Amino acid sequence: MSKIGIVGIRGMVGGTLIERMIKEKDFEESHQYSFFSSSAKNQPGPKINHKQYTFLDAYDLDLMHEMNIILTTQGSDYTKDVYASLRKKGWTGYWIDAASYLRMEKDVIIGLDPINDHVIKEGLARGIKTFVGGNCTVSLLLMGIGNLIKNDWIEWISTMTYQAISGAGAKQIGDLLKQVRAFDIDEQKHPLKLEKEFRQLIKQKTFPLGEIGHPLAFNLLPWIDAKMEDGRTKEEWKGQVELNKIMGLKKILPVDGICVRVPTFRSHAQAVTIKLKKNITIKTIEKEIAGSNSWVKLIPNDVEESKRYLTPLAVSGTLDIAVGRIKQMSMGKDYISLFTVGDQLLWGAAEPLRRMLKIILNIL
Ligand SMILES: NC(=O)c1ccc[n+]([C@@H]2O[C@H](COP(=O)([O-])OP(=O)(O)OC[C@H]3O[C@@H](n4cnc5c(N)ncnc54)[C@H](OP(=O)(O)O)[C@@H]3O)[C@@H](O)[C@H]2O)c1
């Protein structure tokens, strides 16, 4: 019997994880589960298999120390506070994490098992105990085009993202809704007048910026996370370093782009430009993508199919990784573009963690 501590299920990723685990009947009676919270200790936790849990204190290191596996979706600050102290106390259990804080550490594996199962297995065999889920857009991109990288067909990747507000956490969903509701404008007016009133409204001090800090309703924000020294944002920086680490590439595959927050609720999309190492037909590319894994859905480059199936709304709440708009670019035969969208709370966060937990339980 393993003791499994799960931290942070009140959030977007944690909530999605629990939903998935219940749906897939992951809560086996042969293991003991505990639920921890950093802000709701002693309050009612989830009800699973008729058992009502109470949240335990996520900062109680003695309690945490009793766990064989800790899976946290709480966030980087929590990991920063607790992980090193636990290890210092001699805790040798498995740590599975959604947050980015530990991802680039040497003895940490970024787990995305449909893509890097061999890296995970090799890590487990040599005693690695810390596994972290990848950045959401990176995991989603790899689920779609990982095979093209494995085949060594790619010279570089440029990805322009369209990232949903739920990627920024639970609080910001409500903040976006408040912004949308603030536009209580008479739609009978001339569209030019409406649009002008809309711009005046967002300038008012009373406009609810919330944690987002800027108007995002009917807008977009071309900046996600902190600024790096080279002008990239941290989210953009993660694209290259994490993708290369997950794939275990010896020679760096350049990945860059611009990460953009858009006012969708859920699922991240990316418009991707790929410079191929050689001319490969679109048919071959499509075949390779379609055969990547059972979650990829190849969408024909067709108006109706693209508008119906290649959208955040079409994939939200599903494990589908939609890839479409695949075409050769006018820059030359070695350049292709494509569009891909997947649920960042599922394959971009909760699902790799859930699967990682199962992989570890299988070897214990
Ligand atoms: N959102 C995504 O799409 C995504 C994708 C990949 C990775 N991640 C990473 O996963 C981690 C968690 O992200 P998240 O989006 O799940 O963050 P979140 O929704 O903001 O939740 C984070 C934590 O906030 C706490 N919390 C306090 N009051 C809450 C309330 N009223 N409602 C909900 N939660 C409350 C919860 O922990 P306590 O119970 O301990 O207070 C919760 O686990 C972050 O490190 C993030 O970078 C997120």
145 and 286 co-located in one domain: yes
284 and 311 co-located in one domain: yes
Q: Is residue 35 part of a domain?
A: yes
Whether the CB-CB separation of 326 and 312 falls below 8 Å is answered with no
pLDDT value at position 258? 98
100 and 161 co-located in one domain: no
pLDDT value at position 187? 82
pLDDT digits (tens, 9 = 90+) for 100-147: 999 999 999 999 999 999 999 999 999 999 999 999 999 999 999 999
48 and 145 co-located in one domain: no
245 and 318 co-located in one domain: yes
Nearest C-alpha to atom 39 of ligand 1 is from which residue? 37
Sign (positive or negative) of CA dihedral 283, 284, 285, 290: positive
**CATH code for the domain of 38:** 3.40.50.720
Residue 119, both tokens: 């890296």
313 and 353 co-located in one domain: no
**CATH code for the domain of 245:** 3.30.360.10
Query: What's the CA angle centered on 211, arms 205 and 217, to 5 degrees?
Result: 70
| Conformation bin of residue 75: beta by default, left when phi > 0, alpha when psi is -120 to 50 | left
Q: With a 6 A CB cut-off, is 99 part of the ligand 1 pocket?
A: yes
pLDDT value at position 184? 78
pLDDT value at position 30? 87
Residue 29, both tokens: 């009676």
247 and 308 co-located in one domain: yes
Segments forming the whole domain that contains residue 301: 138-169+221-344
CA distance 37 to 129: 22
Nearest C-alpha to atom 1 of ligand 1 is from which residue? 167
pLDDT digits (tens, 9 = 90+) for 317-341: 999 999 999 999 999 999 999 999 9
338 and 356 co-located in one domain: no
Give distance in angstroms: CA of 65 to centre of ligand 1.
Answer: 22
Q: Is residue 185 part of a domain?
A: no
Q: Is residue 93 part of a domain?
A: yes
CA distance 56 to 37: 6
Nearest C-alpha to atom 9 of ligand 1 is from which residue? 99
Q: Is residue 85 part of a domain?
A: yes
- The residues, any chain, with a CB within 8 Å of residue 202's CB and separated by 6 or more, are 215
Q: Which residue has the tokens 């065999």?
A: 125
Please state at what angle helix 113-125 crosses helix 351-363, rounded to 10 degrees: 30
Q: Is residue 207 part of a domain?
A: no
103 and 155 co-located in one domain: no
Q: With a 6 A CB cut-off, is 344 part of the ligand 1 pocket?
A: yes
Residue ranges of the chain whose pLDDT lies below 50: none
Q: Which residue has the tokens 């299988």?
A: 362
153 and 46 co-located in one domain: no
Whether the CB-CB separation of 346 and 321 falls below 8 Å is answered with no
CA distance 34 to 42: 12
Give distance in angstroms: CA of 262 to centre of ligand 1.
Answer: 19
Q: Is residue 268 part of a domain?
A: yes
Q: Is residue 73 part of a domain?
A: yes
Q: With a 6 A CB cut-off, is 38 part of the ligand 1 pocket?
A: yes
163 and 282 co-located in one domain: yes
- Could you say which DSSP state residue 6 is in? E
Q: Which residue has the tokens 């090193």?
A: 84
Provide the number of structural domains found in the chain.
2
pLDDT value at position 114? 98
Question: Which ligand 1 atom is nearest residue 171's CA?
Answer: 20
76 and 158 co-located in one domain: no
Q: Is residue 75 part of a domain?
A: yes
Half-sphere exposure of 310 (CA within 13 A, CB side): 20
Strand 321-329 versus strand 332-342 pairing type: antiparallel
Give distance in angstroms: CA of 7 to centre of ligand 1.
Answer: 10
